[in-house]
Amino acid sequence: MACILLVEDDDDVAMLLVEVLQGLGHEVHHEGTGTAALAAIEAGHRPGLVITDMVLPGGLGGLELAGELRARWPEVPVVVATGHSEWAAELRASGLRVLCKPFRAADLEAIVRDAVVA
């Protein structure tokens, strides 16, 4: 079981992902923006995994959030979810785990398992 910080601005998508992740036995904390996610971590919430959407409102997108996390808390694995499959290879080349939308629950489970075990 992992403590997962989910960063997703679409509430319907977030509710579904929280339900799936909790069904897999994980504890999930949800934030709607990269700025809020960063603030939560700075306030002491230390997730075992961050799953972030690529495109987020508020000026701090998923890629920028991933960069901040990797610089400040390199031990925290990050998964970036994107509907732009053309970005996937570049993101993976930079060392990020990528979850391409649309994805199945089994895809989510596999990438979470891989990120938490690694």
- 22-81 pLDDT, tens digit each: 999 999 999 999 999 999 999 999 999 999 999 999 889 999 999 999 999 999 999 999
Looking at residue 32, its pLDDT comes to 97
- Give the count of beta carbons closer than 10 Å to the beta carbon of residue 97: 19
E strand spans, the chain: 3-7, 27-31, 49-53, 78-82, 97-100
Looking at residue 86, its pLDDT comes to 79
Looking at residue 113, its pLDDT comes to 94
Given a contact cutoff of 8 angstroms between Cβ atoms, the answer to whether 96 and 89 are in contact is no
In whole angstroms, give the CA distance from residue 80 to residue 82.
6
The domain segmentation of the chain, as residue ranges, is: 3-117
What does the angle CA 61 – CA 64 – CA 66 come to, to the nearest 5 degrees? 105
Which residues are registered as beta bridge partners of 22? none
CATH 3.40.120.10 fits 3-117, yes or no: no
